[in-house]
Chain A
Amino acid sequence: MNLNQLTVEARLRSNWESVDLGIMLARRHWALMASLWLLPAAVVYLLAVVLVPASPNWGLMAAWWLKPVYDRLPLLVVSRQLFGETIGWRQALAHFRQANARDWLAWISIRRLSFTRAFDMPVTVLEGSRGQVRSARISVLHRDSAGTASWLHIVGAHVEMGLLLGIAALSYLMLPEQLEIDWIPLLSTDVTLYTWITNGVYLLVMAAVAPFYICGGFMLYIGRRVALEAWDIEIQFRKLRERLEKQSAAGIGSKRPRARASATTALLLACSFGVLLGNPTPAAADPVTPSQAQEIIDETLAGEEFHQREEVSGWRLKEFESSEFRYPEWLIAFVEWLESREIDSEDEHSEAGDIGPLLAGIIEVLLWVLAISLVIYLLWHFRHHIRRGLGYKPKTATEKSQPETLFGLDVRRESLPEDVTAEVQRLWRTGNQREALGLLYRATLSNLISRYACDFQDHFTESECAQLVREGATQDSRLQPALVHFFTLLTATWQRQAYAHRAPQTAHLESLCNQWREVFRDEN
């Protein structure tokens, strides 16, 4: 047994995982195993056909009873496959006698109904132990896995039956409808031929399931051995040892030139560097040694920061729950209404005191509430679609919030002085031309927003504001041409001041101020 040849991954597995691995393994060798299983089973069954043609069920029983005999050869083959040794079909058949040499009588008599057959069989077939040795071995293996092995057996038996019923159901479904076969008599045991055929199909199903059952139990057995004998560790240790031996063989060659103080050949030096770089170099020594660090840690842990205690005491009211609960009036009325509701006339046998109608009433109301809330929810959820579908155009937001700043200018009314033009002219005279023009422009914007409800948006530019006012003048009669003209002029002047730093003539500003007073006269 060479563990390196193992064709499955050796690792610690739970019992169920081992069974799953068995399923995978069986899938790989299914055709070989199933045919090896079926051959002796078919021989037995055909013998029964010849010998007792009148009792097909006894024939099936005989074939079924000898299952442990057929299990052994597939097990032997798959165990060879596990260690990478492939066996052909003919070759395998030659091992039939060898596989069945041990304990064959026990397996088809006292152990026939054992639930752990697939799990125990490797001990007999592969380890070849019997008697005392076998029972000791079995008890060790069973300690953790007997439950899983039994469940595997139970599931296997049920799957066999399920598949047989499935095939029966499938063939019944596939019958053309016109073909009205009276199939009830076929199922009764009168027609022997049909029973022989049905039982033969059952035998085929058994052969199909057998590889999975055998491999499931076998891998469970292997899983136990991996755990008990640490195969996984052994494989890894052998690999490591191999590597170490290879390294030390190489290491002797490369250490020598390094030991010599005067290394002459550059090639050898490169060699030894290669070895040095190959291994991880230890981290540079810390300024603090581990023991010093430990001391610092202990000191810190013993310090005040980690030993602060706080005691809190005081009086608190406990929360008392009021035990009195009064049903609300509407609920009482509702229940009374439910009870007094007319009962369906079909309900002839409803008796007094029967709460069935009440229950039904409650459920009916609940269902109605559910349905109505579902409808409301759907209406709400698709409200936009419905509105659009009805051709209703959503009004552009009525109470749109007015912007507080436009291109960085504060346009709230509160930020403006009482007398705008006087303040503008004062600023102009003191040389703050930019502020002066800015104030005038701000005041204009603010007035446009608050008095003419101009819909300036946050993202508008100056030109866009001017354009909006121009366009608005065609619809809104309050926006007179003088205002529009003034705002266009002011915008241009402000843009020149703000971006090109070109101040207007004093006369031009004066005229703007005059126009401002003119336009917003009635307000001031």
Chain B
Amino acid sequence: MLQSSRTQSESETNRLDTLYGTETPEGIDLTAQLAGPVPRILAYSVDLFYRSLILLALAIALAFADRAGWGIWLLTSFFLEWFYPVFFEVFKGGQTPGKKAFSLAVVNDNLTPVTWSASIMRNLLRFADFLPFGYCTGILSMTCSRHFQRLGDFAAGTIVVYRERHKDGVALPDVSPAPPPRGLKLQDQQAIVSLTERSSELSSARQQELADLLQPLTGKSGSAGLQQLQGIGRWLLGARREK
């Protein structure tokens, strides 16, 4: 979810982005990627599906139990409606099964794990978001608010962010690592690393073109320049010697 923060000078032109930034008391900038209405609506539908499935199975299982069965079923549906999200948000790192399917998570607006009171608050206010029908208010609020918050989120001080999926190691190009020249900024290094990591996704012509942009840096052109950059990328990723 969190990623290394981009410095302010980077966004000098105030480019549009879905990042949410906050600063800890220690002066550390944290950023998270906000999640918008479309994946959240889908995540809610997944949860709704699971809940309906549970209630359906329960109804079948309790069919024999007559009035007591109905009582149990009504109790269960009440608890599922109000406490299913609270339970998962508090105990499972802010992720209901539906949110997990879309790698979303609820967090407090200072990016700490969601607390009991906040979770209960945002889920009780579902009622307000539901009005007048089918979560219309919630959808409008999510779409129009700056951090994609519905009313419950505003009241509880929470946001919904993406939790970064664990990335598998990518195959790096087979070049010998080369030490980078001095004076590269963090963003430059990230771009070079990104070029190295995406060597199998980008077309070779495009990679060549990108590498030629940095001819003043590598002093080489063509595939030699590209290999030089990939070597620097591998060095930045920690490789020092030939395999």
Contact = CB atoms under 8 A, between A and B. Distances in A.
B162 interface: yes
B34 A20 contact: yes
A163 B198 contact: no
Interface string B201-231: 1100011001001101100000000000000
Given A20-B35, A244-B216, A232 B102 contact: no
Given A20-B35, A24-B18, A228-B202, A165 B134 contact: yes
B36 A20 contact: yes
A155 B68 contact: no
B113 interface: no
Contacts of A248: 216
Given A14-B162, A230-B206, A241-B214, A23 B36 contact: yes
B136 A166 contact: yes
Nearest to B135: A162
Interface stretch (B9-17, B49-57, B117-125): B9-17
| Size bracket, chain A contacts | 35 or more
B188 to A, nearest CB: 5
A232 B143 CA distance: 27
B12 to A, nearest CB: 11
B198 A230 contact: yes
Contacts of B187: 236, 239
A43 interface: no
**Interface of B: prevailing SS:** helix
A237 B214 contact: yes
Interface string A158-193: 110011011011100100000000000000000000
A20 B217 contact: no
B22 interface: no
Contacts of A23: 36-38, 143, 148
A20 B148 contact: yes
Contact of B213 (A6, A12, A234, A355): A234
Contacts of A20: 18, 34-36, 38-39, 148
A168 B132 CA distance: 9
Interface in A127-170: 151-152, 155, 158-159, 162-163, 165-166, 168-170
Q: Is the interface of A mostly helix, strand, loop or mixed?
A: helix
A408 interface: no
B4 to A, nearest CB: 12
B132 A19 contact: no
Interface string A227-253: 111101110111111001101100000
A356 B202 contact: no
Given A228-B202, A237-B210, A9 B15 contact: yes
Contacts of A165: 133-134, 136
A7 B15 contact: yes
Contacts of A162: 133-136, 139
Nearest to B148: A20
Nearest to B104: A16
Interface in B180-203: 182-185, 187-188, 190-191, 194-195, 198, 201-202
Contacts of B34: 20
Interface in A327-368: 347, 350, 354-357, 359-360, 363
B96 interface: no
A163 B18 contact: no
Interface in B146-185: 148, 162, 182-185
Contact of B68 (A14, A212, A236, A356): A356
Given A20-B36, A165-B133, A170-B132, A12 B194 contact: yes
B143 A356 contact: no
A221 to B, nearest CB: 15
Given A155-B38, A173-B132, A227-B201, A17 B18 contact: yes
A232 B194 contact: yes
A155 B42 CA distance: 8
Interface string B1-34: 0000000000101011111000000000000011
B167 to A, nearest CB: 11
Contact of A237 (B41, B42, B68, B191): B191
Contact of B18 (A7, A21, A238, A350): A21
A152 B18 contact: no
B74 interface: no
Contacts of A6: 15
B65 A355 contact: yes
B48 interface: no
Contacts of B134: 162, 165-166
A387 interface: no
B242 interface: no
B243 interface: no
A228 B18 CA distance: 21
Contacts of A239: 187-188
A285 to B, nearest CB: 15
A360 B72 CA distance: 9
B188 A236 contact: yes
A256 interface: no
A254 to B, nearest CB: 14
A216 B198 CA distance: 25
Contacts of B202: 228-230
B214 to A, nearest CB: 6
B79 interface: no
A24 B16 contact: yes
A7 B15 CA distance: 5
Contacts of B190: 236
A8 interface: yes
A356 B64 contact: yes
Contacts of B191: 232-233, 236-237, 240
Contact of B136 (A27, A163, A240): A163
A7 B213 contact: no
Contacts of B148: 20, 23
Q: Which 10 A-B pairs have the closest CB atoms?
A: A20-B36, A166-B136, A360-B68, A236-B191, A9-B17, A169-B133, A356-B66, A169-B132, A162-B134, A170-B132
Interface of B: 11, 13, 15-19, 33-39, 41-42, 64-69, 71-72, 102, 132-136, 139, 143-144, 148, 162, 182-185, 187-188, 190-191, 194-195, 198, 201-202, 206-207, 210, 213-214, 216-217
30 contacts: A7-B13, A7-B15, A9-B15, A11-B17, A16-B102, A17-B33, A27-B144, A151-B38, A151-B42, A155-B38, A158-B41, A165-B133, A236-B187, A236-B190, A236-B191, A237-B191, A239-B187, A240-B184, A240-B191, A240-B214, A241-B213, A244-B216, A244-B217, A354-B66, A355-B65, A356-B64, A357-B68, A359-B69, A360-B65, A360-B67
Given A14-B162, A16-B162, A230-B206, 14 more contacts: A9-B17, A9-B19, A20-B39, A21-B17, A23-B148, A159-B41, A163-B136, A166-B132, A166-B136, A240-B191, A240-B217, A355-B65, A356-B64, A360-B68
